[in-house]
Structure 1
Amino acid sequence: MKLYIIILLLIGFSVHAQKQDVQKSIELFFEGFHQKDTVKIQSVCSYKVILQSISESVTEGNKLSDESAKEFYKSTASIPSTMKFQEKILNYNIQIDGTMAHVWAPYEFYLNDKLSHSGVNTFTLFKEKDTWKIIYLIDTRRK
């Protein structure tokens, strides 16, 4: 019985550590984003990362848009220094199966300290060697 409990505890600690590693990759992504540091962002993104957004609007309808990684890095680096922005992640729901992880992360986006929009980010990550890399990011955006 003691061995069974020890095995369960070890599995629990391992899963918790894996979830922390996944969350750290996403936190590093946003740290780079807020610093406009595309090198930092790329350190946790696959070179084949897919980026999509769903804009939700009652007046204009819902719209799915794609952005290449190159466009994303360029637009991030070119954000004016006078513009203050912050994406606040409200919580993380992390699921892992082997070398794949999925994260559901509701957020609020602020421009110059005013709420601009909110929604949910979903990330799919792949464990490449010892690093969790973002391979897919889609978010919803609503005013």
Structure 2
Amino acid sequence: MKSLVVLCFLFFGLCSNAQKQDVQKTIEYFFEGFHQKDTSKIKSVCAENMILQSISESVSKGNKLSDEAAKEFYKSIASIPSSMKFHEKILSYIIQIDGTMAHVWAPYEFYLNNKLSHSGVNTFTLFKEKDSWKIIYLIDTRRK
């Protein structure tokens, strides 16, 4: 009986870890597309009606919440000049899952032409649609 309980906990832990890996791979694929300016790749892991918001934090200007339509987000990614080098470095992933919903907390640093531009936290909410995770909500903080 004792070994059955241990096996159940082990199986649950392995399943939970596999789910977290799938969620993290979805976010990594999003950023792979982002860095390649490949909107098709980004769209493949995003829900059609994804919500995007940003919180800009500034002592002098105050804090500001802004919304961006997914269509405008994709357009802005596609229009980044090839001469501009950018990289968003994810520092860690904290992933929580409840059934078909996942939440990811991902601190980051954003580099523009190899120079730190700003940092903050991305938070993603994902929905498991059939066998794949889709990003339904993305909000980030931005501070200099």
Structure 2 partner of 1:101:
102
Structure 2 partner of 1:34:
35
Structure 2 partner of 1:43:
44
TM-score normalised by the chain length of structure 1: 1.00
Q: Which runs of 4+ in 1 moved over 6 A?
A: none
Offset from partner CA, 1:45-102 (integer Å, 9 cap, x none): 0001000000000110000000000000000000000000000000000000000000
Q: SS of the counterpart of 1:138?
A: strand
In the alignment, structure 1 residue 131 sits paired with structure 2 residue 132: yes
Counting only pairs closer than 5 Å after superposition, residues 107-126 of structure 1 correspond to structure 2 as: 107-126=108-127
- Give distance in 1, aligned partners of 2:130 and 2:86: 33
Q: CA RMSD in A?
A: 0.3
Q: Which amino acid aligns with 1:112?
A: N
Structure 1 partner of 2:79:
78
Structure 1 unaligned spans of 5+:
none
In the alignment, structure 1 residue 90 sits paired with structure 2 residue 60: no
Equivalenced residue count is: 143
Structure 1 partner of 2:18:
17
- Give distance in 2, aligned partners of 1:132 and 1:26: 9
Q: SS of the counterpart of 1:59?
A: coil
